């Protein structure tokens, strides 16, 4: 290597050379040469190296220690506290097909732009070179990933969120099959936050399996192994024979039955994803990203992460007891963008009284009523405030969290949000119909967010923001994957938001009943009613589950209101989906066959029953 020895010491150079990977050396030489840090530290899996990163985050002022042992606080810039969708782009080469809904830039245009911004961007700073494993170590599921960053906070976050991978890189035996991710926070302002946000760039280079991200610190923009590497893995999976999905993985454990049944689930934002993954009495493997592979005819899944980068707003002792306990006890934990008063953390809607002054996401001297430059009142914490913690710290962590073989998926759940169409839970007719259900997820906006209730956002597989392949290819791969299994997971859909006269027809906790019905269906314990949309529960089974779980009477009137098939509304949805997908290229014929068949079943029911809403009993 031709890097100045003052920048990379003999000890650090030896750490790189011990990997015996020419591509690693080439990448380090190229990007250290471009960004010109004053010092480069190579971090192995050793506790000494990892502790160095933790200490550096405090020394640099990127994190501050809190009163409770192991807790620290990080603040992102006021304009850097969410994913920057406008500047997050996929670099596309000539002839590369991409969904029309993906933000792209020609590779020959984007690379020179980002390389120009990158020149000397680490001047006077220390670069950290990290090695991680996406998925359990020593697993055929997993992908190695290297990140170069000048942010010790980013590197510390990754220690919590991902498994160490320096030794895994040795096992590559020189292979170039790994992702790499280059990040710089850029020039910093007085609070230690990124200054040149007009030059913020988050570019995915699929051709090289890399992410180049600059002038940011928010984890969604800077942690390359998070949603950024999700895009790289989606591209890789859809050009091979497996799935990368924006899904939780959880274990369902029915009371009085000695078994655990594993589900994966994809839900758009505000549709109940986290609350489903954390239903009391169940176990969690992951809350965000899953790799799913075929193992001897069965779908096996792993969580690529070992931690949670969770939204902390609304977390409280009553609704989130396991998370609450973790957030209020000594352990390694990073808060971001919340209020700190006398070394204690406070966030929005936490269920206790909060101070009216302290450090927060806007100022080191925040006071209640303070306003920003536009005259808007500054809340005590940002609504997208986060906590970063290892899943193993949770009492409901599943014992197979780090199983290199993954867990057998028996069910897949697609969640949506609509007030007037779908039932609380139903099952697909088969795997391909399940893919169709996932492809047609809609999430209804609320008055609180956009000022208008009922605007439906299209969100296939809850993955639209991260797709880097055409929708047609994505769905074809899903259909093909299922057909290659001898034992397919059953596919379900949920909707916790059905309303009548503006009021929800079920409560937040009812989702446990729907989960237990799905779990029982997997094991053939419940019969179901076949309807035009799929299989729905029988009244007696749901009534019994409500009695067993909540000692609550679920009336036949409740059942009919929630599980009636709203034929007209479903037909309107089929029309919306056809309009969307006719505008996309290469959607598989099977997709439109399923759509046409479902529309025909709905119309036949209209003719047969002579009404627009049909009660479940009429389909028996």
pLDDT of residue 275: 86
DSSP state of 371: B
Residue 411's domain is classified under what CATH number?
Answer: 3.90.228.20
Return the residue matching tokens 């729907």.
Answer: 514
pLDDT, one tens digit per residue, over 514-535 is: 999 999 999 999 999 999 999 9
CATH number reported for the structural domain that contains residue 317 in this entry: 2.170.8.10
DSSP 3-state assignment of 263? Answer: strand
Could you say which of 393, 413, 436 is where a domain stops? 393
279 and 317, same domain (yes or no): no
- Count CB atoms within 10 A of the CB of residue 462: 23
- Look at the block and give the residue holding tokens 């450090």: 359
Which of 423-427, 461-465, 543-547, 552-556 is least confident?
A: 461-465
Tell me what pLDDT residue 186 has.
95
Rounded Cα–Cα distance for residues 603 and 428 (Å): 18
* Contact present, 171 and 435 (Cβ < 8 Å): no
pLDDT over threshold 60, residue 575? yes
pLDDT at residue 582 is higher than 70:
yes
CA 194 to chain centre: 24
Say if residue 424 is in the same domain as residue 557: yes
Long-range (24+ apart) CB contacts under 8 A made by 344-349 are: 344/66, 344/67, 344/68, 345/66, 345/71, 345/73, 346/380, 346/381, 347/312, 347/313, 347/315, 347/380, 347/381, 347/385, 348/313, 348/314, 348/379, 348/380, 348/381, 348/383, 348/385, 349/313, 349/314, 349/316
Examine the domain organization and report whether 465 and 582 are in the same domain.
Answer: yes
CA 164, CA 306: separation in Å to the nearest integer? 10
Contact, 146 vs 27, CB < 8 A? yes
Q: Which residues contact 587 (CB under 8 A, 6 or more apart)?
A: 471, 472, 475, 581
| DSSP string for 221-236 | HH-IIIIIHHHHHHHH
Question: Is residue 3 domain-resident?
Answer: no
351 in a structural domain: yes
Query: What is the arithmetic mean of pLDDT over 407-428?
Result: 96
Burial (CB count <10 Å: 0-12, 13-18, 19+), residue 330: exposed
Whether 200 is in a domain gets the answer: yes
Grade residue 381 by pLDDT with cuts at 50, 70 and 90.
very high
Query: What tokens were used for 498?
Result: 């059905």
Query: What is the extent of the structural domain holding 37?
Result: 10-62+82-237
Cα distance between residue 484 and residue 109, in whole Å: 40
Biggest alpha carbon distance in the chain? 82
Would residue 613 count as lying in a domain? yes
Summarised one tens digit per residue, pLDDT across range 72-123 is: 999 998 888 888 888 999 999 998 888 777 889 999 999 999 999 999 999 9
Q: Has residue 452 got a pLDDT over 60?
A: no
The C-alpha angle with vertex 588 and arms to 584 and 593, in degrees rounded to 5, equals: 110
The mean pLDDT value for 224-231 works out to 91
Mind listing the pLDDT tens digit for each residue in 258-304?
999 999 999 988 788 888 999 999 999 999 999 999 999 999 999 99
The CB density around residue 207, as the number of other CB atoms within 10 Å, is 13
The DSSP bridge pattern shows strands 528-531 and 534-537 to be antiparallel
Distance between the two ends of the chain, CA-based, in angstroms? 74
- Are 472 and 449 members of one domain? yes
pLDDT at residue 144 in the model: 97
In which band, very low, low, confident or very high, does the pLDDT at 445 lie, cut at 50, 70 and 90?
low
pLDDT for 95 equals 86
CATH number of the domain enclosing 136: 3.40.449.10
Same domain, 566 and 526: yes
Whole-number Å distance between alpha carbons of 54 and 613: 59
Sequential DSSP letters for 183-246: EE--SB-TTS-B--GGG-EEEEETTTTEEEEES--SHHHH-IIIIIHHHHHHHHHTTTTSEEES
* Mean pLDDT of the residues in the chain: 94
Q: Are residues 150 and 264 in the same domain?
A: no
Residue 233 pLDDT > 50? yes
Given 133, 144, 271, 488, the catalytic residue: 271
Q: How confident is the model at residue 448 (pLDDT cuts 50, 70, 90)?
A: very low
Are residues 156 and 53 in contact, defined by beta-carbon separation less than 8 angstroms?
yes
pLDDT digits (tens, 9 = 90+) for 310-344: 999 999 998 888 999 999 999 999 999 999 999 99
Q: Distance (Å, rounded) from C-alpha 341 to C-alpha 354?
A: 9
Say whether both 360 and 415 belong to one domain. Answer: no
- Verify that 411 and 291 share a domain, yes or no: yes
CA-based nearest residue to 338, from 79, 76, 154, 161:
76
Residue 430 lies in a domain: yes
Same domain assignment for residues 110 and 215:
yes
Q: How many residues does the chain have?
A: 620
CA-CA distances (angstroms) from residue 494 to 172, 324, 507, 534? 41, 26, 14, 12
77 in a structural domain: no
Last residue of some domain: 361, 376, 393?
A: 393
Same-domain status, 276 and 344: no
What are the pLDDT digits (tens) for 250-259?
A: 999 998 889 9
From 213, 237, 261, the end of a domain falls on: 237
Radius of gyration of the chain (CA): 25
533 shares its domain with 605: yes
Q: Are 390 and 160 in contact (CB under 8 A)?
A: yes
Same domain? 412 vs 350: no
In a domain, 2, yes or no: no
In the residue annotation, 271 being an active-site residue is answered as: yes
Instruction: Tell whether 68 is covered by a domain.
Output: no
Share of the chain above pLDDT 90, in %: 84
> Domain count of the chain?
3
């Amino acid at each position: 290597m031709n890097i100045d020895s003052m920048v990379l010491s003999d000890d650090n150079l030896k750490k790189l050379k011990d990997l015996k990977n020419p591509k690693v050396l080439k990448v380090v030489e190229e990007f250290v040469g471009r960004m010109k840090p004053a010092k480069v530290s190579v971090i192995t899996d050793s506790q000494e190296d990892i502790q160095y990163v933790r200490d550096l985050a405090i020394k640099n002022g990127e994190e501050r220690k809190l009163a409770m042992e192991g807790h620290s606080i990080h603040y992102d810039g006021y304009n850097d506290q969410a994913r920057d969708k406008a500047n997050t782009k996929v670099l596309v080469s000539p002839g590369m097909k991409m969904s029309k809904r993906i933000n792209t830039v020609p590779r020959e245009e984007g690379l020179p732009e980002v390389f120009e911004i990158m020149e000397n961007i680490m001047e006077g700073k220390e670069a950290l070179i990290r090695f991680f494993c996406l998925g359990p170590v020593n697993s055929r599921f997993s992908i190695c990933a290297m990140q170069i960053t000048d942010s010790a906070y980013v590197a510390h976050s990754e220690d919590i969120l991902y498994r160490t991978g320096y030794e895994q890189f040795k096992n590559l035996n020189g292979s170039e099959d790994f992702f790499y991710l280059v990040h710089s926070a850029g020039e910093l302002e007085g609070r230690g936050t990124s200054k040149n946000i007009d030059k913020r760039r988050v570019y995915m280079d699929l051709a090289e399996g890399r992410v180049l991200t600059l002038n940011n610190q928010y984890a969604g923009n800077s942690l390359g192994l998070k949603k950024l590497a999700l895009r790289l893995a989606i591209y890789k999976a859809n050009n091979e024979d497996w799935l990368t999905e924006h899904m939780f993985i959880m274990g369902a454990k029915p009371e009085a039955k000695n078994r655990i049944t594993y589900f994966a689930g994809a839900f758009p934002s505000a549709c109940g994803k986290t609350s489903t993954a954390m239903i009391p009495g169940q176990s969690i493997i992951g809350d965000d990203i899953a790799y799913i592979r075929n193992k001897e005819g069965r779908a096996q899944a792993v969580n690529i992460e070992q931690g949670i980068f969770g939204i902390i707003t609304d977390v409280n002792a009553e609704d989130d007891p396991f998370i609450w306990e973790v957030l209020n006890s000594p352990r390694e934990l990073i808060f971001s963008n919340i209020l700190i008063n006398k070394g204690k953390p406070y966030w929005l809607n936490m269920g206790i009284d909060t101070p009216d002054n302290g450090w927060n996401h806007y100022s080191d001297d925040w006071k209640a009523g303070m306003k920003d430059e536009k005259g808007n009142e500054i809340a005590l914490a940002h609504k997208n405030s986060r906590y970063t913690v290892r899943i193993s710290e949770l009492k409901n962590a599943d014992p197979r969290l780090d199983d290199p073989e993954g867990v057998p998926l028996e069910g897949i759940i697609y969640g949506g949000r609509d007030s007037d169409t779908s039932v609380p839970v139903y099952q697909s007719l088969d795997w391909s119909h399940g893919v169709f259900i996932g492809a047609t997820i809609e999430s209804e906006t609320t008055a609180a967010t956009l000022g208008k209730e009922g605007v439906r956002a299209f969100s296939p597989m809850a993955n639209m923001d991260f797709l880097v392949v055409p929708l047609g290819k994505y769905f074809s791969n899903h259909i093909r994957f299922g057909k290659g299994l001898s034992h397919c997971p059953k596919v379900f859909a949920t909707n916790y938001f059905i309303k009548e006269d503006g009021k929800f027809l079920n409560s937040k906790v009812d989702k446990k009943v729907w989960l237990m019905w799905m779990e029982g269906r997997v094991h053939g314990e419940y019969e179901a009613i076949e309807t035009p949309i799929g299989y729905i529960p029988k009244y007696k089974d749901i009534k019994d589950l409500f009695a067993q779980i909540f000692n609550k009477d679920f009336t036949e009137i409740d059942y009919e209101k929630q599980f009636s098939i709203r034929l007209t509304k479903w037909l309107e949805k089929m029309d919306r989906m056809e309009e969307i997908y006719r505008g996309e290229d290469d959607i598989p014929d099977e997709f439109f066959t399923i759509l046409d068949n479902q529309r025909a079943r709905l119309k036949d029911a209209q003719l047969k029953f002579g009404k627009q809403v049909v009660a479940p009993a009429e389909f028996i």
